Amino acid sequence: MKRNWMIALVVLVVVAGYFFMQQQAPQPPKEEPVKESPTPTPEAPKAEEPKAEEPKAEEPKAEEPKAAEETVKIGYLAALTGDWAAYGQTEEKTARLAVDEINAKGGVLGKKLELVVYDFRTRAEDAVNAVRRMIEEDKVVAIVGANGSGINIATAPIVNRLGVSQIGTVSTNPLVTVDEKGEVRPYSFRICFTDPYQGKLIAFFAAKELKRMKAAILYDVGNDYSQGLREFFMKSYAEYQGEVVADLGFRGGTDVDFRAQLTEIRDKGADVLVLPNMGKEMALIMKQARELGMNEIVFVGGDGYGEFMWEIAGEAMEGSYWINHVAPEDPAMAPFFAAYKEKWDDECKEFVNGVLGYDSIYWVADAISRAGKADPKLIRDALEATKDLKLHHATITMDPKTHNPVDKDGVVLIAKDGKGQFFTKIKP
């Protein structure tokens, strides 16, 4: 009796797992485990299940023979819900834009590109299964995303085991492409520069260009990006003989009031405030700093800059500097912004994520055509061999030892007259 019970339980779990794989979904016996909830309750969700399932279940059957020949599938891991939704939603839009443009020009290798977008609600355990599903169910040849280092580090073992390349859009942690033993992860790439590099750029700019030697830093203790940038900034800033007079933290998400920290920074007499954070927090910090009468201090931030910050901080933005990947008024980018506006009837305000997502798709498309065949292994080799590839925002060359773009210029933006304007390009 006892044994039967446990066997039933295990079988239930295993069968339930199988049931939700699309190939087996239509077989009636596999539906039982879920129907065992004998109540009328889940009627509403139940009623919807077939809807979501049918197209999914039929698609592979009806289209796969043709689809395998006609389209090349690229996965996109986007944060469509949760705290990063603002960035993930933009990335999805720009990726779709890039795919449409490439397809309009005849696709790649005579085949059309198809984008498979999955959400991961900013949770690693969800992203892991999304990636497995992309690779094994949807048979994507490469994956773009996610826009967070923690997620990329968690998915790296899987993409490397299964042999499909993944390109992080704004995943700046070095561990994304190189494991903790210092060896490159063969199938992990990134299009952005790394935290150490960006930290160095910020330190270089503050100390050498602005000649401000007393920095305060205000970072998000709960955010890995922010913590990393702070660490590398402090290291490089010390090398440039700068002094960090105040090193303060806050908690992103719930923490939206920074006046306590700002008051302390003011009392310590810092002349530059470094903000290695996400857009919203930086805008609030600047606004609150000016409200506290801190009119002298200069703000320098990283690639978290977004045009929406003007809506929040308003005039407090004026005169702040941003070390970034992309300059929005770069003439090469104008067609992109116009196309985005036309397709989505919206300004591309989170343009860093947007442009990097957009160019990642172009990069993958280029790698596929250089590989000559939509084969994940060949695409990986082509990605690694990328040299002087002219994308929209930059020309990139891969370092095969780290899978980071080599010596990417840092673009410094200055916030002026209501928008971020090109200030200079730096390379320490």
Partner 1 sequence: MTRVGGDRLPSSIRERGDPYLATLIQQIINGLSLGSVYALIAVGYSLVYSVLLFSNFAHGGFLVIGGYICYAALRTFNIGIWMAGALSLVGAGAAAILTERLAYRPIRERTNVTLYLLIASMGMSIVIENIFVIVAGGRFRALPPVIPTTPVNFFGLATTSAFDLLSLVSAVVFLGALQLFLSKTRWGLAIRAAAYDLRTAGLMGVNVNRLISIVFFVAGALAAVGGIFLSVRYTLYPQLGAITIKAFVAAVIGGLGSLPGAVVGSLILGLAEMLTAGFISSQMRDLVVFSLLVVTLLVKPTGLFGKSVSEKV
Partner 2 sequence: MSGYAEGIIILLCINAIAAMGVSLLTGFTGIFSLGHAAYMALGAYTSAILTVQHGVHFFPAILLGGVVAVALAYFIGVPTLRLMGDYYAIASIGLGEAIRLILENWQSVTRGARGYPGIDPYTSLPIAVGFFVILAIFMFNLINSRFGRACKACRDDYIASSLLGFNTARIRVVSLMISAFYCGVAGALLGGFLSFIQPVMFDMLKSTELTAVVVFGGLGSMSGCILGTAVITLVTELFRPISQYRMLIYGAVLVIIMVLRPEGIMGNRELLSWIKDPFGRRS
The backbone region for 414, taken as left when phi is positive above 0, alpha when psi lies in -120 to 50, beta otherwise, is beta
Binds partner 1 (CB under 8 A): choice among 156, 167, 178, 294: 294
For partner 1 (CB under 8 A), the number of binding residues is: 49
Determine the 3-state secondary structure of 136 from DSSP: helix
- 118: β partners: 77
Touching partner 2, residues 77-136 (CB under 8 A): 78, 80-82, 117-119, 121, 123-126, 128-130, 132-133, 135-136
18 binds partner 2 (CB under 8 A): yes
Tally of residues, the chain: 428
Pairing of strands 419-426, 410-416: antiparallel
259 binds, among partner 1, partner 2, none (CB under 5 to 8 A by kind): partner 1
Q: What is the largest CA-CA distance in the chain?
A: 79
298 binds partner 1 (CB under 8 A): no
175 binds partner 2 (CB under 8 A): yes
84 binds partner 1 (CB under 8 A): yes
Window of 2-10, 164-172, 357-365, 401-409 that interacts with partner 2 by CB under 8 A: 2-10
Rounded to the nearest 10°, the torsion over CA 404, 399, 363, 226 is 10
- 84: β partners: none
**Toward partner 1, which CB reaches closer, 147 or 165?**
147
Alpha carbon 364 to its chain centroid, in Å, reads 16
Token digits of residue 52:
């979501």
The answer to whether residues 134 and 118 touch, using CB atoms and an 8 Å cutoff, is: yes
d(Cα 169, Cα 320) in Å, to the nearest integer? 24
Token digits of residue 72:
């090349």
Touching partner 1, residues 222-281 (CB under 8 A): 248-251, 253-257, 259-261, 263-264, 266-269, 279-280
247-to-75, 227, 389 alpha-carbon distances in Å: 40, 11, 39
Pattern of binders to partner 2 over 364-383, x per CB under 8 A? --------------------
153 binds partner 2 (CB under 8 A): yes
**Toward partner 2, which CB reaches closer, 103 or 227?**
227
293 binds, among partner 2, partner 1, none (CB under 5 to 8 A by kind): partner 1
The answer to whether residues 391 and 176 touch, using CB atoms and an 8 Å cutoff, is: no
Query: Which residues does 399 contact at the CB level (< 8 Å), separation at least 6?
Result: 405, 406
Is the peptide bond prior to 146 cis by the omega test (within 30 degrees of 0)?
Answer: yes
- Shortest separation between residue 186's beta carbon and partner 2, angstroms: 16
Touching partner 1, residues 311-370 (CB under 8 A): 311-312, 314, 349-350
Beta-carbon neighbour count of residue 19 at 10 Å? 16
- Shortest separation between residue 407's beta carbon and partner 1, angstroms: 33
**Toward partner 1, which CB reaches closer, 127 or 309?**
309
d(Cα 45, Cα 408) in Å, to the nearest integer? 49
Pattern of binders to partner 2 over 38-77, x per CB under 8 A? -xxxxxxx--xx--xx--x---------------------
**Toward partner 1, which CB reaches closer, 48 or 58?**
48
3-state helix, strand, coil in the chain (%, to 5): 50, 20, 30
Window of 63-71, 177-185, 233-241, 351-359 that interacts with partner 2 by CB under 8 A: 177-185
426 binds, among partner 1, partner 2, none (CB under 5 to 8 A by kind): none
Q: Which of 167, 202, 175 is nearest to 389 (CA)?
A: 167
- Shortest separation between residue 208's beta carbon and partner 2, angstroms: 27
34 binds partner 2 (CB under 8 A): yes
203 binds partner 2 (CB under 8 A): no
- Shortest separation between residue 396's beta carbon and partner 1, angstroms: 28
Touching partner 1, residues 163-222 (CB under 8 A): 221
- Shortest separation between residue 306's beta carbon and partner 2, angstroms: 21
89 binds partner 1 (CB under 8 A): yes
